[in-house]
Amino acid sequence: MKKHITNQELLEALNSRYATKVFDENKLLLPEDEETIKEILRLTPTSLWLQLHRYIIVKDKKLREKLKEASFWKQQITWSSLLVVFAVKTGFWKHDIQKYLDKLQEVRWVDDEKKESIMDRISTFILEDNEKYWIENYEEWQTRQAYIALWNIITSLSLMWLDSCPIEWLNPIEYDKILGLREKWLKTKVALAIWYRSEDDGYQNEKKVRYSQEEMFIEM
Ligand SMILES: Cc1cc2nc3c(=O)[nH]c(=O)nc-3n(C[C@H](O)[C@H](O)[C@H](O)COP(=O)(O)O)c2cc1C
């Protein structure tokens, strides 16, 4: 089967990616790029298919100004063409599983009996067998799903010749207040500023600082 992209092209894109600090004000995202970005995020897989995290796209300039203050005055927050905040749910309930199963039934025809058995399996796994683990750690587990989405989009953007900067160093409580997320049963975890790099961004010429394969891999 033909590869979507050659190994060399893929590594070139990944080597060219860096946490971009200065953007080109003359280049804005095209509407079709924004649509593709949303679709890439939507296609990100999640554990047990549950899709519990949410993406908040912040366009409003006043909100962005407030978020900048809550992000230790990072320019990327107001400069970027697109700002995505990754949030997770403040709780996890049986109706979240039901919602997924209804969607499953709508998309792939499954009968009620099969639906019932999937519900049993998922809730046994989450709510009974691992009761302590899941209830105490559901937030950490959801956060992992949000970070998978974060890196999925960052890698994909590099293939689209688009640039980005993940922003973890922010005040999540302030973000939640500014965006009214608690009313939506959501909590901020991380943000991503998306844009085109400026030629003046010196970071793009810096060598990658990474340990060697020998250091990072243990082969058995
Ligand atoms: C999860 C995550 C959170 C990050 N948060 C920030 C941040 O808050 N501010 C920032 O300037 N860079 C942030 N970065 C960028 C990293 O510092 C950067 O990716 C790392 O130094 C490696 O450099 P490179 O991405 O340019 O190869 C973050 C990166 C990751 C993966």
Q: Return the pLDDT at 93.
A: 77
Q: Return the pLDDT at 139.
A: 87
Measured in Å, residue 20 CA sits from the centre of ligand 1 at: 9
Q: How does pLDDT run across 153-212, given as a tens digit for each residue?
A: 999 999 999 999 999 999 999 999 999 999 999 999 999 999 999 999 999 999 999 999
Pair 141, 164: CB distance under 8 Å: no
Whether the CB of 193 sits within 6 Å of ligand 1: no
Measured in Å, residue 15 CA sits from the centre of ligand 1 at: 15
Pair 80, 163: CB distance under 8 Å: no
Whether the CB of 19 sits within 6 Å of ligand 1: yes
Q: Return the pLDDT at 217.
A: 98
CATH number at residue 57: 3.40.109.10
- Does residue 59 belong to any structural domain of this protein? yes
Strand partners, 83: 58, 193
Whether the CB of 151 sits within 6 Å of ligand 1: no
Strand boundaries in 39-154, DSSP class E: 54-58, 82-89
Burial of 108-124, coded b for 16+ CB within 10 Å and e otherwise, reads eeeeeeeeeebeeebee
**Which pTM does this prediction carry?**
0.94
Task: Give the residue, by CA position, lying nearest to ligand 1 atom 9.
Answer: 167
Q: Return the pLDDT at 81.
A: 93
Measured in Å, residue 30 CA sits from the centre of ligand 1 at: 25
- Does residue 97 belong to any structural domain of this protein? no
Q: Return the pLDDT at 132.
A: 52
- Does residue 82 belong to any structural domain of this protein? yes
- Does residue 76 belong to any structural domain of this protein? yes
| Regions of the chain short of the pLDDT cut 50 | none
Domain count, the chain: 1
Measured in Å, residue 63 CA sits from the centre of ligand 1 at: 23
- Does residue 166 belong to any structural domain of this protein? yes
Task: Give the residue, by CA position, lying nearest to ligand 1 atom 14.
Answer: 166
Backbone angles phi, psi at 14, to 5 degrees: -70, -35
Domain that holds residue 184: 21-90+142-200
- Does residue 212 belong to any structural domain of this protein? no
- Does residue 107 belong to any structural domain of this protein? no
Q: Return the pLDDT at 48.
A: 83
Q: Return the pLDDT at 156.
A: 98
- Does residue 189 belong to any structural domain of this protein? yes
